Structure 1
Amino acid sequence: MDSTLTTAPLSPGRTLWSKVPEVTAFFWIVKVMATTVGETAADYLNRNLHLGLTGTTLLMSVLLALALVAQFRTKRYVPGVYWLAIVLISVVGTLITDNLTDNFGVSLWTSTGVFSVALIATFALWYRREGTLSIHSIFTPRREAYYWLAILFTFALGTAAGDLMAEQLQLGYLPSALIFAGVIAAVALAHVYGGLNGILAFWLAYIVTRPLGASIGDYLSQGRDVGGLGLGSTALNAIFLCSILAVVAYLTFSRRDQVRVTEPS
C-alpha cells in the first residue's frame, strides 16, 4: 500500500530521507501493537495507578509534546523516536475520546462523526497545499505537521468507532475485532486485485487498525463478565511494550524500513 512516491522540487542530485518508515509487514505489526497499548495503557494509568482521566490526559499530552519535538528535530526517520511518538499519540487519541464521553457526555455517534469530519478536512487541506497524501513524501516540516495531525485524528476516530461497535452497539470485543480485520483484508484485496489507489488504501487500512487494536486490547484485558479474556492491562502492556521494543531495536540496526528519495542529476 502507498506505493506512490511523490517528491517536492529538489536540487539535482540532492538526497532526502523520509521522516516516516517504509510500509512493510513490520510497520503494520508495530502499528497494531501500538494501538493495543494505546487502549490498555490509558486504562491502566487511569484506573490502576489512580491518576484519573484528567491527570492521565495531562501527563500523556506533555510526554507526547516532548516526543513530537524530538521527532520534528530529527533529520530522518529514527525508529525509536518515531514509534515512541506513535505509542504516545495512540494513548492521547484514546484519552481525547474518553474525555469527551466520560467527562462531557458526548455520545460515541457524535464523536465518531466529528472526528471523521476533522480527519477528512485535514486530508483535504493537506492535499490542497502539498498535492499529495503519500507518506513517502514526508520530508518537510509542513508535511510532517499534516501527517501527525492526521495520525491524531485517526486514533481518536478509531477509539470512538471501536467503542461504538463493541459497547454501544453491543457487538462485543472479539466480533468487532473480526469485523475490523475483515475490512482491512478487503482494502488490501481491493488494492492488490481491484486497482484501489495505494495512498487511499494505506490510509483506509491505517484508520481501521486503530479500532482493530483497541478491540483486541479490550478483548484480551477486560474481564470475562464483559466478554474479554481477563488477562489484565498490566501483563498485556508489558508483553506488547516488550514486543514493540524488540521490533524497533531490530529496525534500528537493520534499517529495513528507511526511505531515501533522490532527485536525478
Structure 2
Amino acid sequence: MLNKVPQVTLLFWVVKILSTTVGETAADFLAGNLGLGLSLTSLIMAVLLAAALTMQLRRDRYVPWVYWLTVVLVSIVGTLVSDNLVDNLGVSLWTTTAVFAVALAATFTAWWRTEHTLSIHAITTPRREWFYWAAILSTFALGTSAGDLVSEGLSLGYLLSAGIFGLAIALVTLGYWKGGLGAVLAFWTAYVLTRPLGASIGDLLTASTTDGGLGLGTNATSALFLVVILAAVAWFTGQEPRHHHVETTTPIARS
C-alpha cells in the first residue's frame, strides 16, 4: 500500500496544533458544558475513535478527511485518558506524565526493533501503521499531562506555558535546520511538544478571565478551529491527486 500519512509541511503543523486545541476544548465541552461527565464522554469518544481508526486502517493510501478525523478523535481521547486518571482516579500529573513518557518510549522501542525504522515516510504496512497510531495516542496523552503539569501543576499559567512549549518547538526546529538534529527525532519531539502547546492555547482562549484565560468559551473556540481544520482538509484533498500522480509516474519517468 502507499504511504498512509500526509507530507510534513507548515500547514501540516498548523492543522496538528489546531487539532490538539480542539481535542482540549471539545473534551471540556462534552464533559462539562453538556454534562456528560468524563466517564460517559470517554466511552462515546472511544467508540467514535475505533470507528474512525477502522476506516483509516482499511484504506490503502492516505485519505485526508479520514486521517485528520482520526487525529482529532485521538486528540480528544488522549485528553480524556489523562483527565480520567487525574480527575477521577486522583493520579498526580507527575505520575501520568512519567507513565505516558514510558509508554511512548516502549512503543518506539518495539517499533524500531520490529521495523528498524521510525520514519513516517514509510508507513506502508499494517503493522507499521498500528505502531504509528499507538505512538500518536501516546504523544497526545503525554502532551496533555505535560501541558497540565506546567500550566496548572507548576502554576505557570496558560500564556507562559504556551510560550515555553513554543520556544521548545523553535529550538527543535533550529536544531533540525542548523544543528544536525535527525529528521525522525526532530519530528517526534515536535509532535509531542505541539500537544501541550495546543492545549495551553486552548485553555488560554476558553478559561475565564479569573482563571487566567480570555473567556472565549469552548463553543466558539471549538467551532472556529473546526472550520479552519475543515478548510485545510479540503485543501489537502484537492492537493492529494497531484501528489498521487507524481508518486505513480515518477518511477516510470526514472526508468
Query: In structure 1, the residue corresponding to 2:26 is in which secondary structure?
Result: helix
CA distance in structure 2 between the aligned counterparts of 1:260 and 1:45, rounded to whole angstroms: 41
Q: 1:104 to 1:260 in 2, by over 3 A?
A: farther
Matched, 1:154 2:135: no
- 102, 122, 143: which one aligns with 1:117: 102
Structure 1, gaps ≥5 residues long: 1-15
Q: How does 1:93-104 map to 2 (within 5 A)?
A: 93-104=78-89
CA distance in structure 2 between the aligned counterparts of 1:209 and 1:171, rounded to whole angstroms: 18
Equivalence for 1:60 = 45
Equivalence for 1:10 = none
Q: Deviations over 1:23-49 (max 9, x none)?
A: 011110100000000000000000111
- 224, 228, 231: which one aligns with 2:209: 224
Q: Is the 8 A contact 1:23 1:257 kept in 2?
A: no
CA distance in structure 2 between the aligned counterparts of 1:103 and 1:170, rounded to whole angstroms: 21
- 19, 27, 31: which one aligns with 2:16: 31
Q: Deviations over 1:152-186 (max 9, x none)?
A: 00000000000000001000000000000000000
1:217 shift after superposition: 0.2
1:253 shift after superposition: 1.0
Equivalence for 2:173 = 188
Structure number with the higher helix fraction is 2
Equivalence for 2:193 = 208
Query: In structure 2, the residue corresponding to 1:17 is in which secondary structure?
Result: coil
Q: Deviations over 1:50-105 (max 9, x none)?
A: 11100000000000000000000011000000000000000000000000001111
Q: Is the 8 A contact 1:19 1:76 kept in 2?
A: yes
Equivalence for 2:154 = 169
TM, length-normalised to structure 2: 0.95
Equivalence for 1:11 = none
Equivalence for 1:252 = 237
Structure with higher RCO (Cα < 8 A, 6+ apart): 1
Give the AA of the match of 1:133.
Answer: L
1:148 shift after superposition: 0.1
Q: Deviations over 1:195-217 (max 9, x none)?
A: 10011000000000000000000
CA distance in structure 2 between the aligned counterparts of 1:95 and 1:139, rounded to whole angstroms: 30
CA distance in structure 1 between the aligned counterparts of 2:247 and 2:164, rounded to whole angstroms: 36
Matched, 1:88 2:89: no
CA distance in structure 2 between the aligned counterparts of 1:168 and 1:25, rounded to whole angstroms: 31
1:127 shift after superposition: 0.4
TM, length-normalised to structure 1: 0.92
Matched, 1:70 2:55: yes
Equivalence for 1:236 = 221
CA distance in structure 1 between the aligned counterparts of 2:172 and 2:125, rounded to whole angstroms: 29
Give the AA of the match of 1:24.
Answer: T
- 34, 37, 41: which one aligns with 1:49: 34
CA-based RMSD: 1.5
Q: Deviations over 1:115-138 (max 9, x none)?
A: 000100100110000010000000
Matched, 1:130 2:115: yes
Q: 1:214 to 1:42 in 2, by over 3 A?
A: same
Q: Is the 8 A contact 1:17 1:260 kept in 2?
A: no
CA distance in structure 1 between the aligned counterparts of 2:57 and 2:180, rounded to whole angstroms: 34
CA distance in structure 1 between the aligned counterparts of 2:125 and 2:188, rounded to whole angstroms: 20
CA distance in structure 2 between the aligned counterparts of 1:253 and 1:238, rounded to whole angstroms: 23
